[in-house]
Amino acid sequence: IARAINSVFNQTYQDLHLIIVDDCSTDNSVKVIEDLLEHNTSKVKCTFVKNKENKGAGFSRGLGLKFLEGKYTTFLDSDDYLEPSFIEELVKYTKKDYDIISYNCTYLEGDKKSYCNNLTEDIDLSNNKFELAAYCKFLSGSLIKSKLWDKVKYSVRRYLEDTPTFFKLVYYSKRVICTTVKGYIYTQNSPDSLCKNADYLKTKIYMLTA
């Protein structure tokens, strides 16, 4: 969690509002978070919210959305992190008023890196927006125009909650782009990661709905 939060604090683009939701963690995460926020020297605004009972990722993200202030939203899982220029590179595309700005996700297994796709140029998918699922497998990291959350509620189910949410967002969007931007690091080296254990389910779901 410290690595994830510090990767936000270290972004070259600092006009950010970091909303952290603790879902009744049973380790020392709360203390780590509070210490980081107390000693934050970046310009990133922070809001720390704590669930009263364990509700899962979908509910927690939905709760965090209630504190939105900015024009665009993105998500960062606690075991992932961002390279310093990631947000700045994606923000450049907001000038063209895209509803969803996706990216080339980096998988990290130990010290080995690979990518979701091998795009050499950006692809505007506005006329075939559901093809975005063939290029981007994750809701986390993408810039989502915040006004879309007026029409879409985050799924509260505990597993693969981002999948139905992702497709609803795409449905209500008008302009969508998949970019060559790299810098969201999706770590797969945690043996007890829920995402890692559910990878086979994600693959089947995206194959069925792409």
Q: Mean pLDDT over residues 66-95, rounded? A: 95
pLDDT exceeds 70 at position 203: no
Q: Mean pLDDT over residues 63-80, rounded? A: 94
d(CA 97, CA 104) in angstroms, rounded, equals: 20
CB atoms within 10 A of CB 88: 15
Q: pLDDT tens digits for 91-102?
A: 999 999 999 999
Residues pairing with 177 in the sheet: 101, 124
Q: Mean pLDDT over residues 153-157, rounded? A: 89
